[in-house]
């Protein structure tokens, strides 16, 4: 595992468009509701949680709000995309609700297009407005094609992401956890990928963390702040989860994948 120096992570429990904010718990509570994101956007500020010193194990170069896939709307910015926007593109609510893999893939591919040499063709929309990014997610949706159960495994997602990249005439390579699934392989996998500026997509079936049940998210940072934590793009917001709870919790399936 590669460690960087201890750095300050500035975290606030603020509404959606605050540039330093982690998505508030009140905004996350209704994530299954198609209107949750809009209500979060309109919510009033709540108190700052705290600022603290965190030991950073791995992070993207542009990991923070305003830098990681900064989808703009009005004077504000989202932290990556949200699957609910697919309904703006004619996708049914039923299919949009099962498209978390589409959102995570879109985040990854857009970030690669903006940061990885020779990958710019992965995102060719004119800007990163919500309108343009929503149309991009629809493009990805056509390749990911989530079913009633979403995209249930890493291997299924890999094949569909590669087909999109091939359609853009871009060669990318998937990287899964090798040498067995255990804490000694997952920790360096996650830290090394992030330090190499590769977003990591995380899939969980059942989980003690309700937000992550049957869900894909995009990991942008991995650090220790009292306990080991991961920072994710989830529902267009910046959301922190306890890594050891996720890893150690009983689940029928967990998976991680990144591309280069």
All structural domains of the chain, each given as residue ranges with its CATH number in brackets, are 6-259 (3.90.70)
* CB 194, CB 61: distance < 8 Å: no
pLDDT at 226: 87
In eight-state DSSP terms, residue 24 is: P
Is residue 185 helix, strand or coil? helix
Give the pLDDT score at 75: 84
- Cross-strand pairs, 21: 12
Rounded CA-CA distance 133/34 in Å is 18
pLDDT computed for residue 146 by the predictor: 92
Give the pLDDT of the chain (260 residues) as one tens digit per residue: 333 333 333 333 323 333 233 333 333 333 333 343 443 343 222 222 334 577 899 999 999 999 999 999 988 899 999 999 999 999 999 999 999 999 999 999 999 999 999 999 999 999 999 999 999 999 999 999 999 999 999 999 999 999 999 999 999 999 999 878 899 999 999 999 999 999 999 999 999 999 999 999 999 999 998 899 999 999 999 999 999 999 999 999 999 999 99
pTM of the full predicted structure?
Answer: 0.82
C-alpha span between 17 and 47 (Å, rounded): 15
Strand boundaries in the chain, DSSP class E: 6-14, 21-23, 50-59, 70-73, 76-79, 174-176, 200-204, 215-225, 227-234, 237-242, 254-259
């Amino acid at each position: 595992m590669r460690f960087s120096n201890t750095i300050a992570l500035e975290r606030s429990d603020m509404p959606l468009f605050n540039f330093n904010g982690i998505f508030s718990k009140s905004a996350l509570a209704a994530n299954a509701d198609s209107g949750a994101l809009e209500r979060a956007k309109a919510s009033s500020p709540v108190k700052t949680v705290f600022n603290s010193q965190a030991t950073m194990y791995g992070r993207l170069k542009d990991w923070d709000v305003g830098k990681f896939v900064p989808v703009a709307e009005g004077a504000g910015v989202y932290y990556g995309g949200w699957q609910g926007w697919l309904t703006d593109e004619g996708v049914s609510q039923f299919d949009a609700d099962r498209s978390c893999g589409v959102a995570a893939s879109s985040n990854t591919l857009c970030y690669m297009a903006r940061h990885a040499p020779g990958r710019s063709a992965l995102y060719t929309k004119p800007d990163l407005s919500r309108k343009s990014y929503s149309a991009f997610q629809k493009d990805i949706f056509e390749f990911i094609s989530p079913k009633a159960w979403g995209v249930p495994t890493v291997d299924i997602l890999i094949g569909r992401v590669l087909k999109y990249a091939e359609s853009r005439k871009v060669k990318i390579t998937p990287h899964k956890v090798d040498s067995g699934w255990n804490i000694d392989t997952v920790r360096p996998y996650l830290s090394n990928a992030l330090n190499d500026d590769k977003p990591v997509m995380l899939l969980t079936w059942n989980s003690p963390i309700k937000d992550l049940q049957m869900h894909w998210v995009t990991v942008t940072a991995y650090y220790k702040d009292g306990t080991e934590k991961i920072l994710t793009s989830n529902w267009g917001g910046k959301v922190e989860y306890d890594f050891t709870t996720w890893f150690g919790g009983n689940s029928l399936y967990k998976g991680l994948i990144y591309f280069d």
